[in-house]
Structure 1
Amino acid sequence: MSQKNVNACPKCLSDTYVRAKKILIGKSSPGRLFPDFKERAGYKRKDQLAVDECKQDAVGDPPLEQFVDGCYCENCGIGFVPDSYLLTSVVQKT
């Protein structure tokens, strides 16, 4: 059984074109900005990540907490962070 490479692109599943890059994430999740906000069942915000959805040790000190060490796939043109940065509640939603 093969282990999933942490730095593999979630789109092309390859690490050939992946490089380390600072990624800008959102300041707050919709649930924090709008108290009455409820995510639709089965809906995933794949293109967004917010500071309050990451583990504390994954984000920097204020005012630079929105910049995290992530990865960028030059083949697909997408930035991403490892699942290990996410809080358990966020991983369970995906």
Structure 2
Amino acid sequence: MESCPRCGSIQHVRPKAILIGAASPKKRFDGEEKAGYRRLDQLAVDECDPAELKSAPLEQFVDGFYCGGCEVGFVASGLVRDGD
């Protein structure tokens, strides 16, 4: 069980399936920065380690956690791949 990144506790943390974005702005705009683009998600499929993802069409659902105390969802850091 992971501890909550906000409060640091595991008391209110439980496993939860988390829906992530289909593509990051980097992939969506061919690596270009778009001024004023507001990102609605905080993590996308192409930013994750492929070995940690489910097979298509379920790759947007990842195993994560939810802290009921902070009302925040999060994933283990091992899911996110290192920057290119």
Q: What TM-score do you get using the length of structure 2 for normalisation?
A: 0.85
By how many angstroms is 1:55 displaced? Answer: 0.4
Which residue in the other structure is 1:75 paired with? Answer: 69
> Which ranges in structure 1 are unaligned for 5 or more consecutive residues?
1-5
Provide the C-alpha distance between the structure 1 equivalents of 2:49 and 2:31, rounded to a whole number of angstroms: 24
Cα RMSD after superposing both structures:
2.2
Distance verdict in 2 for CA 1:71–1:39, change over 3 Å: farther
Which residue in the other structure is 1:3 paired with? Answer: none
By how many angstroms is 1:38 displaced? Answer: 2.7
Provide the C-alpha distance between the structure 1 equivalents of 2:62 and 2:31, rounded to a whole number of angstroms: 28
Aligned identity (percent) is: 46
Aligned ranges for residues 27-38 of structure 1 at < 5 Å? 27-38=22-33
Which residue in the other structure is 1:48 paired with? Answer: 42
Distance verdict in 2 for CA 1:39–1:79, change over 3 Å: farther
Return structure 1 stretches of 4+ with deviation > 4 angstroms: none
